[in-house]
Amino acid sequence: MSMFRALRLDKSDGEFQREFVTLDEGDLPRVGDSDHPELVVDVEYSTVNFKDALAVADQSPIVRSWPMVPGIDLAGTVALSEDPEVPVGQRVVVNGWGIGEDTWGGLTQRARVRGSWIVPLPDGVSTAEAMAIGTAGYTSILCVLALEDHQVTPDRGPVLVTGAVGGVGSVAVALLAARGYEVHASTGRPEEAD
């Protein structure tokens, strides 16, 4: 696939622009160097996170360089690899590393990333399932693992989850409850309280 579609944001002379564009591989900005080999990923799925919504609506200084393809996560299959550790055909997830902020992100059909940024998908997990979990789920899982690493266990008492109706908070509530924790949830949104 040499031509692909992407959502591109741009700002010139203070004028914000948002449009779907057709690009080719030569349009993808370089992200690697001799110490950081690059991959090109055929993107199958991305999610729209809070940061993405802010970027697409030009509501916050999320984007640090223009033009930008938003999307702070992606899942897909490696199409080209300069990294001997990452084979073509490997199914991967990428989140973090500034994608969608200072490096083109996942709201595209093709993305260029560093090999060190990817997380290989295990067998039995599809790219669609990985993005159903998304960055919010990944962040929640890291939070639960950090609690467990610090010996915070269900028998030590309740756990308070703030922002419990947001993406990260709602997944954290579900994960903690499934692991046997007594979860106390709070929100700053009065209309969401029960």
Label residue 31 left, alpha or beta by phi (over 0 means left) and psi (-120 to 50 means alpha): alpha
pLDDT for 38 beyond 90: yes
The tokens describing 166, both together, are 């947001």
Q: Average model confidence (pLDDT) for the chain?
A: 93
Q: Which residues in 74-87 are b (16+ Cβ under 10 Å) and which e?
A: bbbebbebebeebe
pLDDT for 166 beyond 70: yes
pLDDT in tens, 52-77: 999 999 998 999 999 999 999 999 99
Judge contact between 67 and 10, C-beta under 8 A. yes
pLDDT in tens, 88-107: 999 999 999 999 999 999 99
Better pLDDT: 164 or 110: 110
Nearest-angstrom CA–CA distance, 37 and 191: 48
Say what the pLDDT of residue 89 is. 98
pLDDT for 190 beyond 80: no
Token pair 């057709």: residue:
22
Say what the pLDDT of residue 194 is. 65
Give the SS3 label for residue 42.
Answer: strand
Residue 189's pLDDT band (cuts 50, 70, 90): confident
Say what the pLDDT of residue 7 is. 98
Of 34, 36, 4, nearest in space to 20 by CA:
4
Looking at domain 3-120, which CATH architecture does it have?
A: Alpha-Beta Complex (3.90)
Say what the pLDDT of residue 193 is. 64
- Dihedrals phi, psi of 166, to nearest 5 degrees: -80, 180
Three-state secondary structure readout of 46-88 = CCCCHHHHHHHCCCCCCCCCCCECCCCEEEEEEEEECCCCCCC
The tokens describing 144, both together, are 């639960």
Question: What number of helices (H) and strands (E) belong to the chain?
Answer: 3, 9
